[in-house]
Amino acid sequence: MNLSYLAPAVNQIPAAIRLAQDYVDVAREFITEPCYEYIAGGSGLGRTATANLAAFDELTICPRVLRDISGGNTQVALPGASLAHPILLAPVAYQTLAHPGGERETARAAHVTDTCIVASTLSACTLEEIAAAAADSPKWFQLYFQSDSAITTDLVRRAESAGYGAIVVTLDATLQVPNQRALHLGFRFPQQLVASNLERYAANARRADIAGESRVLHAAPANAPTWKDLERLRSETSLPIWIKGVMHPDDARQLQDFGLAGIIVSNHGGRALDGAPASLRALRKIRNAVGNDYPLLLDGGIRSGMDVFKAIALGADAVLVGRMQMYALSVAGALGVAHMLRLLREELAIAMALAGCATLRDIRSATVE
Amino acid sequence: MNLSYLAPAVNQIPAAIRLAQDYVDVAREFITEPCYEYIAGGSGLGRTATANLAAFDELTICPRVLRDISGGNTQVALPGASLAHPILLAPVAYQTLAHPGGERETARAAHVTDTCIVASTLSACTLEEIAAAAADSPKWFQLYFQSDSAITTDLVRRAESAGYGAIVVTLDATLQVPNQRALHLGFRFPQQLVASNLERYAANARRADIAGESRVLHAAPANAPTWKDLERLRSETSLPIWIKGVMHPDDARQLQDFGLAGIIVSNHGGRALDGAPASLRALRKIRNAVGNDYPLLLDGGIRSGMDVFKAIALGADAVLVGRMQMYALSVAGALGVAHMLRLLREELAIAMALAGCATLRDIRSATVE
Amino acid sequence: MNLSYLAPAVNQIPAAIRLAQDYVDVAREFITEPCYEYIAGGSGLGRTATANLAAFDELTICPRVLRDISGGNTQVALPGASLAHPILLAPVAYQTLAHPGGERETARAAHVTDTCIVASTLSACTLEEIAAAAADSPKWFQLYFQSDSAITTDLVRRAESAGYGAIVVTLDATLQVPNQRALHLGFRFPQQLVASNLERYAANARRADIAGESRVLHAAPANAPTWKDLERLRSETSLPIWIKGVMHPDDARQLQDFGLAGIIVSNHGGRALDGAPASLRALRKIRNAVGNDYPLLLDGGIRSGMDVFKAIALGADAVLVGRMQMYALSVAGALGVAHMLRLLREELAIAMALAGCATLRDIRSATVE
Amino acid sequence: MNLSYLAPAVNQIPAAIRLAQDYVDVAREFITEPCYEYIAGGSGLGRTATANLAAFDELTICPRVLRDISGGNTQVALPGASLAHPILLAPVAYQTLAHPGGERETARAAHVTDTCIVASTLSACTLEEIAAAAADSPKWFQLYFQSDSAITTDLVRRAESAGYGAIVVTLDATLQVPNQRALHLGFRFPQQLVASNLERYAANARRADIAGESRVLHAAPANAPTWKDLERLRSETSLPIWIKGVMHPDDARQLQDFGLAGIIVSNHGGRALDGAPASLRALRKIRNAVGNDYPLLLDGGIRSGMDVFKAIALGADAVLVGRMQMYALSVAGALGVAHMLRLLREELAIAMALAGCATLRDIRSATVE
C-alpha cells in the first residue's frame, strides 16, 4: 500500500508534547501538507472550523478555593455506555489517512484508556475489526443511511453482532463545499482508501466525502435521511439511537419528542455548512431547549481538558474528539491516541480541581463565562 | 484598441476556481494592479467597501436536519422580471475595463444562466447591443438622470424599445471621493473608454466616475436627482421603476409611499460615501421599515451563495453582484461570468438544503444571526 | 538657525495628496523620524492618541437620497467668531518644529481659507506676529496661566490689543508622561526653540512640554489653574473665555454654570493622561450634560471631512485640527496648511451632500452610529 | 554558583527606561530567553496571563479639571501594615532566577522605598535574611501549608519572630499545567535553586512549581489546604491572615464571614488555571460581594501607575506587583526594583493629579470605564 502522504509514526511520544493540544502542531511533521490540511480544515473557507475553536477561547473558568473534592471522579452514564470519563472518540472516516493501521490503532488506544470509540460507517477497517481491537471497552457504531435500505439494515445487524452498544446516526453531511485550501494544495483522495464496511455490498460502496474531481459538489439531496428512515431504524434495533449533527433547538426538541436516546450537537467539525455557528454556541441553546436531563454530547473544537470542562459547563454530558485522534494517530499510532486521551483527562482533572468540582455534575454549576 | 491593462482572458475555467469567491483572487492575474484596485476598492480609504464584506462574515447560518425540501426551487417574482434564481448582475459601468467584449460578454452569460442583467447608462456597449446579447433573458436598464431631460427621456424610450423590463434609477453616486489606493498605484481612466449610450448626444457624454485629474472631486450637486425627476420619469414610462442606492429607512418608506416598484439597498459598493454603513446592515432596518412584502434587493458584498442566503434571510428578495462579474469577466469572459453565476447558485442550493429551506420564502425564517 | 530635523518644504502640493489624511504619511518625508514621532505620538505608550482615531473609525454615516440641499452652507456662529466653516486650527506649540516659518505660515493659511486660528502661548512666533499674518481672519489666543499672574494679565492685554477675539484657557496639560517612542528614537527638544511670547518676561519663559532630561516628569501641580484663576481672568477681560481640556460631564456642567463662553472637549491629543478615553466619546456625554445649545468644540482625532461630520453629529459646533496642521505645514508651509484645510472642507461638503445635510445644524440629526 | 541564565545586572538604570513598563522589555537583555519566558509566561498556553494585561488596557481613566488636590497622598492602612503607597511586592518564589542576590536585593529596595514586601515560603533566601534586609519597612510572610503541619507551625513562628506583620496564605497553586513555551525553549529549573526556608526540615523541602520532568503534572490535590488548616493557623497566630488566590465572589464572602483579615484577588499571575478570567475582572465582582470596606488587594497585570489607579478604582485597596520586580531585579538588582517602584508611584501620582484625586479613597469614585 502506498502511503506516501504519511511519515512513519514513532514508537515513543515526542518530548515536545506536554499538552494534548501539542499534537495539533507536532502532527504536521507526520502528514504531508495537503493531507494535513484536508484533516485540519473545514469546508469552503473554513469559517465554521475556526469558529468552533474560537468559541472555547472566548470563555473563562473561574477558579474556586477550599472546596472539598475528595472522592471525585469523572464518570458519566449515557444510554449505550457507562463511561470512566467523558471523552469519546468521534467517528472519523478513513483513519488510514493518518496511520497505516487506521481505526485498529485507535481502537487499541480506546481499549487501554477506557474510552468509548464511535466507529464510522466509512472506516478503513471493518466494524468487526474495530470491535475486536477495542475489546471490552465501550463502542458505538456511526451509521450513514444507505440508498439501499437492506444494506442499512445489514450494517445495524453487524454492529449488534460485533457488540456495539449504540447506533449514532449522522444527519448533517449530505452536501458539502470542499475544503478549498486542501484542494489548492493539491490534495487528492488516495486511491487505496476503501470503505471496508461497504465493500461486500457491490456497487454501493460510497467513496469519501471529498474528492479531486471536477464537480464541485458530491453527494445528493436524495441521500438525506428522513423521519421514515429513523422510524424504520428504531423498529429494527433495540440499541439506543443517538443523532449526530443537530444544531438547532427546534430540531433537538423534535428528536427528543420522537424518543431518541440522545443528541450529539455537531456541525461536522465545520466540514458541512461553511458559515454554520460554533457547535459550542448551539449547545447552550439546545440544552436550554431540551431541559437538564436529556443526554447531549458536544462535538467540535475540543483541544484541551479545559475545553472539555467548558463544554460540560454549558450543558454537555460528554464530548467527542475528532481531529485530535487523527493528529495523535499520525504521530504515534495507538500509543499517541492513548497519550492524547491521557493528557485530556489530566487537564480535565486539573480544571476540575482548580474549579472545585468533584464530579461532572458539579461542573454544570461552575462559573464559565 | 489598446487594452494594456488586461491580460487575455482564457477559454476554460482555471482549475483553481472551485468557489465563486475564488474569482476574486484569480482575477488578479488578468487585470493590471492599478485597474484591479480601481475595481476592487472603494472611495477614499475603502472603509465601506470593507464593511460590506465584514457584515456577511459576522453572521452564521444555523443548519437544520430532517426537513423535507423536495420540490424546492429558487424562483422569485419581482416587478419587472420573474427570475429562476435571485442573483442579478448589477449595473457596472464600462465593463471593457475587465474584458474587450465588455457588457456583451456579460449579457451572453446572463442569457445562458437565466440571469437578469441590469445594464448601466455608462456601459461601454450600447444598451441595444446588450439587449441583443441577453436575448430573451430578463433585463433591466439602469438610468442616470442627464442634465438635459430630453436625453433622459430618450434613454428610457430606447430601453423600452430594446425590451428592458424595468428602469433602475441610481441615486447615490452624485459625489465621490476617489479610490485613494487605485490612484496611488497610478490608475488612470483609459482614454478609449466611452459611454456608448451617450455618444450620440453631443457634448453630454459623461465620463466615468473617477479620473486622474487634478481635481479631487467630480460630478456636481446640480446633477443630484429630485422628486420632480422621479415624477417626470414615472409619467413617461409604464415600466416598473426601482430605486438604487437607498440606505436609510426613512428614505425607503418615503419612496414606498411614492409608489415606486421597489428599492435596491446599496451604498454603491462602498464607492460613494466612504464611511457609510454596510448595505447588509441597512437592509435589516429597511425591511423592518417597509414591511414584509415591499420588494427589496440587496447590493454590495456578495461573494458566495451563503452570502445570498444571508441577505435573503435579512429581508432581501434577491441580490445583485457587481465586482464578482468584473472578476469573472476578466478571467474568462462570458464563460467566466456564467461559471461564477453557476457556482453562486450551487452554493445557495447547498446552503438552502443544509438549512432546510425549500424556497427563498423559507429562508426568511431561517436562523441567521 | 539649525533645523536639521526638517527637510525643506516644497512649493507645490505633492501629487500623492488627494485626501486630507494623506498629509499624515507624506509628512514623514519632511520631518526626521524622532521629531515626527514626537508630533504624531501621545504620552506614555500612546493609548489615548490611538483611541482618539479609533473612535471615529467605529462610526458610520448613513447616506440619504433626494434631500433638497440647495442653498446649503457650513457657517457657524460661535462666541468670539463667526466662521465660514467649522474647522479651527488648534493651538499647537512651537510650530517651527514643522516649518522654519512656524506659526506665521499657519496664520497665512488661515487668512486665505477663512479659518479661525488659535495661537498658542507657547508659540515660536509672537502672538503679534501671528495676528499680523492672520490679518482679518478670526483668531483666538490660547492661554497657559503663568506662575506670575502679572504676566498672565499682560498676555491677555496683548492678545486684546492684537485683535484676538477670544481667550482659550488650557486646563489639561499640567503633568505628562513623556512620549515613550519619541524618546526611544532619540528625540530631543531643539535648543533653538523659544517661547517667543514669554521671552520678554525674564526667567519665566516656560520650555516645551517635553524634554530629554533625566527627570521623567516635568511641570508641577503647583501650576494647575484654579477657579480663582478663572475668576480673575474673567474680571480682566471682556473677551469670551473658552475652556480647553474638559473630558468629564460634571466638569463641563460646572464650567457652564460658572458662565464661561464654551468648552473645547479635548484630551490634549492624547498627550496628557495616557489612558484617557477618546475625546469623541467624551463629547457625546458632555453634549448630553450641557444641553443642545451650549457651545462645544471637539479636539482630537480629526483626519477627514467625514470625521468633522461625525463630531458635529455627536454634538460639536465645530472642531480643531492639531497634528494635521503640523503635517501639512512640514510638507508645504502655508500652502500645505491651506490645501489641507481645503481638502477637509471639500470632504465635509461631500459628506453633507451625501447625507442630505444642507447646514451644520442638519448634521445634528443625521444618522451617525 | 552557576547562574548562566543571567547576564550581570548593571549598577545604573539604563537610559531606555522611562516608564515602569520599560522594564518588561529591557529585562530581556539580562535573562536568557527560556528563563525569561518562564518568568513572563503563564501556565499552558498563557491565556490567563495575557488576559490579566488586556483587562487593564480595556479601561480608560477620565481626566478632571480644576479639582483641588492640595495635600494629597497615597497612604493606605491595611490589616498588618500602614503603607505610604499602595504598591506591594508580591511573593515571587526563587528570586535568584533574576539576580544572584535574590530576595535580599528586593528587600533592600523595599526598605528604601517604604514598600511592603511579601516574602515567599519558596524564597531562595531565608525569611530571616529577607526580614533583615527589609529592616523596618513593612513585611508580610506568604505561607504554603506544608504536608507536615508542625513545619507549617514552625514557619509561622519564625515569621513572627522575624517581625513579619501578617501571614498571606496562598490557596490557588495546588495544581498547574506547565508553561508550554518555556519548556519548548528548553527551560529547566536550575539545580542550585533551593527553598532555603524549608531546607532545615529534612525531606520536606518542596521544589519549585515547575520542572523539566517527564510528568506533566506535579503537586497533588492532597496538598490542597482546607478550612481546618485555616482554623488551626488562626489559633496559632495573632497576626492578621490574608488569603491570596481568590477569584470567585462566593469564596470571598465565605472567607470574609470566616473572619479573615482580607483577600488578595489573584489567579497566580496566570500561572495556575490557564483559562481563568483576568484578576481585574474578578476584583469588581468580589468588591460588590464583600461591600465597600472589606480589605481587598489585587494581584496580576500591573505594569504602570495607571494600572494601579484602575485597580483601586475597581475596588482594590492596594496592589501587588510580581513579574515587574523580577524584571527590575534582573536589570539592576535592588537599585532596579527601587527605581521601578519609584516610577510606578510617580505614574500613579500623575494619574491621580490628572483625574483630580487627592487620596486613594477619591480614586474609588473616579470615572474608570
Render pLDDT for A202-237 as a digit per residue (tens, 0 to 9).
654 444 433 333 233 334 344 678 999 999 999 999
Q: Can you spell out the DSSP letters for B272-311?
A: SSTTPPPHHHHHHHHHHHH-SSS-EEEES---SHHHHHHH
Cα–Cα distance measured from residue A338 to residue D258, given in angstroms and rounded to the nearest whole number: 45
Q: Does the CB of B358 have a partner CB in chain A at under 8 Å?
A: no
Render pLDDT for B6-57 as a digit per residue (tens, 0 to 9).
778 888 999 999 999 999 999 999 999 999 999 999 999 999 999 999 999 9
Q: Does the CB of D226 have a partner CB in chain A at under 8 Å?
A: yes
- From B171, B217, B275, residue closest to C306, measured CB to CB: B275
Cα–Cα distance measured from residue C122 to residue C208, given in angstroms and rounded to the nearest whole number: 7
**Shortest alpha-carbon distance between residue D279 and chain C (Å):** 19
Q: Give me the residues paired with residue A263 across strands.
A: A243, A296
Q: Does the CB of A296 have a partner CB in chain D at under 8 Å?
A: no
Q: Does the CB of A12 have a partner CB in chain D at under 8 Å?
A: no
Instruction: Say what the pLDDT of residue C206 is.
Output: 47
Cα–Cα distance measured from residue C158 to residue C142, given in angstroms and rounded to the nearest whole number: 12
Set out the domains of chain A in order of their start, with CATH numbers.
Answer: 22-363 (3.20.20.70)
What band does C192 get if pLDDT is binned at 50, 70 and 90?
confident
Q: Does the CB of D65 have a partner CB in chain C at under 8 Å?
A: yes
pLDDT of B207 above 70: no
E strand spans, chain C: 76-78, 81-83, 87-89, 117-119, 139-143, 167-170, 241-246, 262-265, 296-299, 318-321
Sites in chain A below the pLDDT cut of 70? 1-3, 174, 202-223
Catalytic residues of B: 268
AA letter at D348 = L
Render pLDDT for C119-176 as a digit per residue (tens, 0 to 9).
999 999 999 999 999 999 999 999 999 989 999 999 999 999 999 999 999 998 767 7
Instruction: Say what the pLDDT of residue D221 is.
Output: 40
Instruction: Say what the pLDDT of residue D92 is.
Output: 96
Helix (H) or strand (E) holding C333: helix C323-354
* Inter-chain CB proximity B275 and C68 less than 8 Å: no
Q: Which residue of B has its CA nearest to A51?
A: B60
Instruction: Say what the pLDDT of residue A203 is.
Output: 56
Instruction: Say what the pLDDT of residue A70 is.
Output: 87
Q: Where are the alpha helices (DSSP H) in A162-211?
A: 180-184
AA letter at D343 = L
Pairing of the two strands C76-78 and C81-83: antiparallel
Q: Where are the alpha helices (DSSP H) in C66-148?
A: 103-113, 127-134
**Which stretch of A111-125, A236-250, B67-81, B173-187 has the lowest confidence by average pLDDT?**
B173-187
Render pLDDT for D134-190 as a digit per residue (tens, 0 to 9).
999 999 999 999 989 999 999 999 999 999 999 999 998 767 777 888 988 999 888
pLDDT of B167 above 60: yes
Instruction: Say what the pLDDT of residue C6 is.
Output: 77
Mean pLDDT of C66-82: 94
Q: Does the CB of A228 have a partner CB in chain D at under 8 Å?
A: no
Instruction: Say what the pLDDT of residue A175 is.
Output: 72
E strand spans, chain A: 76-78, 81-83, 87-89, 117-119, 139-143, 167-170, 241-246, 262-265, 296-299, 318-321
* Inter-chain CB proximity D247 and A62 less than 8 Å: yes
**Which stretch of C1-15, C176-190, C230-244, D11-25 has the lowest confidence by average pLDDT?**
C1-15
Render pLDDT for D204-262 as a digit per residue (tens, 0 to 9).
444 433 333 323 333 344 467 899 999 999 999 999 999 999 999 999 999 999 999 99
Whether residue A111 lies in the annotated active site: no
Q: What is the ipTM of this complex?
A: 0.93
* Inter-chain CB proximity C273 and D61 less than 8 Å: yes
Instruction: Say what the pLDDT of residue D209 is.
Output: 38
* Inter-chain CB proximity D62 and C248 less than 8 Å: yes
How far from each other are the two terminal CA atoms of chain D, in whole angstroms?
A: 49
* Inter-chain CB proximity B66 and A248 less than 8 Å: no
Share of chain B above pLDDT 70, in %: 92
Which residue carries 490557588 as its cell? D172
How many of the other CB atoms lie within 10 Å of CB of A304? Answer: 23
pLDDT of C215 above 60: no
Q: Mean pLDDT for chain D?
A: 92
Render pLDDT for D77-121 as a digit per residue (tens, 0 to 9).
999 999 999 999 999 999 999 999 999 999 999 999 999 999 999
Render pLDDT for C38-60 as a digit per residue (tens, 0 to 9).
999 999 999 999 999 999 999 99
Rg of chain C taking only CA atoms, in angstroms: 19
Instruction: Say what the pLDDT of residue A2 is.
Output: 54
**Shortest alpha-carbon distance between residue C252 and chain B (Å):** 30
CB C195 within 8 A of CB C146: no
Mean pLDDT of D287-292: 98
**Shortest alpha-carbon distance between residue D280 and chain A (Å):** 13
